[in-house]
Chain A
């Protein structure tokens, strides 16, 4: 602001145009609020500009021009360099690295809130999945259970063939034959000792499944079981605990003794696998209905 020439002489700096030095600064600072400091300089101080023109004319081009344009080139190159660096940097680390602390805190809290929402959703979905899975599992289990019960009931009712460990009991009649009561007693004894499936076969013809409603009567040529006439010797195939059933049959005063009193013979054989394949025709119940 003050006379630049005095400054120049006083400072005595080696730089060629010390006169000019304060001028642009003064001009710019005076017009800084305006849009372009550079342009307004001319209008700001015409006297100063005039003095400067004189100076420029005085200093040769080699002393001032070349360094100034070099510095400008350097600055512009630096700017281009910085722009490229910044752009590349910005693209590379997705701006998180340059973000401020409070921005980072906000981003972090956003992420935390989002994570909580997602976790809640995951928990809900997993619960739903668990419900669906257990429902499917329950249905499957119920189905399997029902199937198993149907098999069991089918075996008990005689509508399904069965196999398993058990006994093969052969009743050979003596002079008085085998009485139906003896056979019935044998069947009862076997049931009492845990038999699960039974059939009785005569010397010829198909075997007859023994179920709860099976009856035994004495016929003209032997036994009549459920309407089928069987002739001696009879073979009872029974599935159940072999040892217990054998004991039950040979108990003193039991079935074996009864057969022997009639002159017959009871032979108990224990094959590895007993097959009970005769079927009892299923009949529709006429009166009884399941309670449900």
Chain B
């Protein structure tokens, strides 16, 4: 419940303040968002499986974001930032699809 409220509040804040992303963060924010989405879907799936754990969710959320951003940063330093961020997005996308499939099986039994 708090999560849903926070979701709405976050959207509202983003709409109200319309902040600009700092230039230094611009390559990392999209990847971080995708990583966090992965964590959120994983959390929903765990909730439906009945094995949700607050602490693990928080840690996986933060570490997903940090690791994704770090990988992109590393890729930028190595000169393969574009390819590496594409790879990260692909991997996270596959995971998101897997989680969403599990969620779907839970919700619709199909």
Hey, which bits of chain A sit against chain B, CB under 8 A? Answer: 17, 20-21, 24-25, 27-28, 35-39, 41-42, 64-65, 68-86, 88-90, 97-98, 100, 102-103
Contact = CB atoms under 8 A, between A and B. Distances in A.
Contacts of B53: 24, 38, 41
Interface of B: 2-3, 5-11, 13-15, 18-21, 23, 26-27, 29-30, 32-33, 36-37, 40, 42-43, 45-46, 49, 51-63, 76, 79, 81-82, 95, 98-99, 102
11 contacts: A24-B56, A37-B60, A39-B49, A41-B51, A65-B54, A72-B43, A73-B2, A76-B7, A80-B14, A86-B33, A97-B26
Given A35-B42, A37-B42, A72-B54, 14 more contacts: A35-B102, A39-B102, A69-B2, A71-B58, A72-B43, A72-B57, A73-B2, A77-B9, A79-B36, A81-B13, A83-B14, A84-B11, A86-B21, A89-B26
B51 to A, nearest CB: 4
B29 A82 contact: yes
Contacts of A80: 6-11, 14
Would you call the interface of chain B mostly helix, strand, loop, or mixed?
A: helix
- Among B32, B33, B42, B43, find the residue whose CB has the most chain A CB atoms closer than 10 A: B33
Nearest to B36: A79
A81 B11 contact: yes
Contact of B14 (A25, A37, A75, A85): A85
Contacts of B63: 28
A79 to B, nearest CB: 4
A131 B41 CA distance: 68
A77 B7 contact: yes
B51 A38 contact: yes
Contact of B98 (A35, A65, A70, A75): A35
Given A28-B60, A38-B52, A100-B81, A81 B45 contact: no
